């Protein structure tokens, strides 16, 4: 197992009522799409994608959902957590015209990806989706780094009214993109796959993870048996098209199937 680091939280930024970004002053060898495992010593260890990374610090952006993330939400700057990683596959870095489509708490990982794509000369368009204005993440940060940004809210309170996939569909009709990236709920990515035609893509998946190092088998995807913590979470089109469980079901901690 990789080395574990116990680190103080250097900075906490409140993004929305239920989302915070935690920054650590620590050099981590991470690429966009990869994740860390984090524990608060109380119980459990959970995967979180890296939302920003530089030479001497990295960040994760966490939505308060259940027991673990509610405890983290109460943490203050200086409090200690323990991390291991970074783990998993990372996104292909294109130098061409690319479209990034994401929704909800999966959006921040595309901030890290956008920065690396821009640094490599890519022409980057981001579709940032959420339920409403209050839930949209990283709008100012995306604008600051100079991507072409399209915000989509389901209730129409900010940007275009509709889902991220609705907005991506219009862009894909009117412009030619060389590569597509998506990260978010299965059903969102499935809808995107159905409208994206022949374009090459990579999708970033989430499945229940326990070990994150390929041993427990809880995160495997049918029928290829891909361990999402090792061969994923970013998967290329040639693998995604073979996934029979994509958009249909995932697995509980026990390993039993649950339909989406």
Interacting residue ranges for ligand FES, rule: CB under 6 A:
209-212, 214-219, 227, 229
Q: Residue 105 binds which one of ligand FAD, ligand FES, none, with CB within 5 to 8 A depending on kind?
A: ligand FAD
- Binding-site member from 164, 233, 235, 251 for ligand FAD (CB under 6 A): 233
- The alpha-carbon radius of gyration of the chain (Å, integer) is 18
- Binding-site member from 24, 68, 177, 201 for ligand FAD (CB under 6 A): 68
231 binds ligand FAD (CB under 6 A): no
The strand order across the sheet containing 179-183 reads 160-161, 148-153, 123-130, 97-103, 179-183, 201-204, 234-236
181 binds ligand FAD (CB under 6 A): no
Give me the residue whose beta carbon is nearest to ligand FAD: 66
Residues 6 or more apart whose CB falls under 8 angstroms from that of 194 comprise none
- Binding-site member from 15, 202, 206, 231 for ligand FAD (CB under 6 A): 206
201 to each of 121, 139, 192, 249, 255, how far by Cα in Å?
A: 18, 24, 10, 21, 28
Closest distance of CB 208 from ligand FES, Å: 8
Backbone angles phi, psi at 251, to 5 degrees: -120, 145
Q: Residue 67 binds which one of ligand FES, ligand FAD, none, with CB within 5 to 8 A depending on kind?
A: ligand FAD
85 binds ligand FAD (CB under 6 A): no
60 HSE (CA, 13 A, CB side)? 27
Interaction with ligand FAD in 26-45: which residues (CB under 6 A)?
35
Q: Given the structure tokens 């913590």, which residue do they identify?
A: 229
Q: Residue 218 binds which one of ligand FAD, ligand FES, none, with CB within 5 to 8 A depending on kind?
A: ligand FES
Residue 41 gets the label, from left (phi > 0), alpha (psi -120 to 50) or beta, of: left
- Binding-site member from 20, 22, 40, 46 for ligand FAD (CB under 6 A): 46
- Binding-site member from 6, 13, 65, 241 for ligand FAD (CB under 6 A): 65
Closest distance of CB 239 from ligand FES, Å: 16
22 binds ligand FAD (CB under 6 A): no
Closest distance of CB 142 from ligand FES, Å: 30
Closest distance of CB 163 from ligand FAD, Å: 20
Backbone angles phi, psi at 117, to 5 degrees: -60, -45
Q: Give the distance from CA 192 to its chain's centroid.
A: 16
C-beta atoms surrounding 48 within 10 Å: 22
> Residue 186's closest CA among 169, 205, 202?
205
Indicate the residue among 78 and 253 with the shorter CB distance to ligand FAD: 253
- Classify strands 179-183 and 97-103 as parallel, antiparallel or unpaired: parallel
Footprint of ligand FAD on this chain (CB under 6 A)? 35, 46-49, 60-63, 65-69, 105, 206-209, 233
């Amino acid at each position: 197992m990789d080395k574990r680091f116990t680190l103080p939280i250097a900075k906490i930024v409140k993004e929305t009522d239920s989302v915070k970004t935690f920054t650590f002053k620590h050099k981590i060898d991470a690429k966009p799409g990869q994740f860390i495992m984090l524990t608060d010593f109380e119980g459990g260890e959970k995967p979180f994608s890296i939302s920003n990374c530089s030479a001497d610090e990295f960040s994760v952006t966490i939505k308060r959902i259940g027991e673990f993330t509610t405890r983290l939400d109460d943490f203050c700057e200086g409090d200690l957590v323990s991390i291991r990683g970074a783990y998993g596959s990372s996104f292909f870095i294109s130098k061409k015209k690319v479209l990034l489509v994401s929704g909800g708490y999966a959006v921040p990982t595309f901030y890290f990806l956008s920065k690396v794509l821009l640094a490599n000369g890519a022409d980057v368009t981001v579709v940032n989706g959420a339920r409403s204005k209050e839930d949209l993440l990283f709008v100012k940060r995306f604008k600051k780094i100079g991507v072409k940004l399209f915000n989509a809210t389901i209730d129409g309170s900010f940007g275009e009214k509709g889902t991220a996939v609705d907005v991506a569909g219009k862009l894909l009709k009117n412009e030619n993109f060389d590569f597509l990236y998506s990260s978010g709920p299965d059903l969102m990515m499935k809808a995107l796959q159905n409208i994206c035609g022949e374009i090459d893509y990579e999708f970033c998946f989430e499945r229940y993870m326990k070990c994150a190092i390929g041993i427990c088998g809880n995160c495997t995807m049918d029928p290829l048996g891909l361990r999402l913590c090792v061969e994923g979470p970013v998967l290329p089109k040639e693998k995604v098209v073979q996934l029979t469980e994509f958009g249909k079901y995932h697995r509980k901690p026990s390993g039993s199937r649950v339909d989406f």
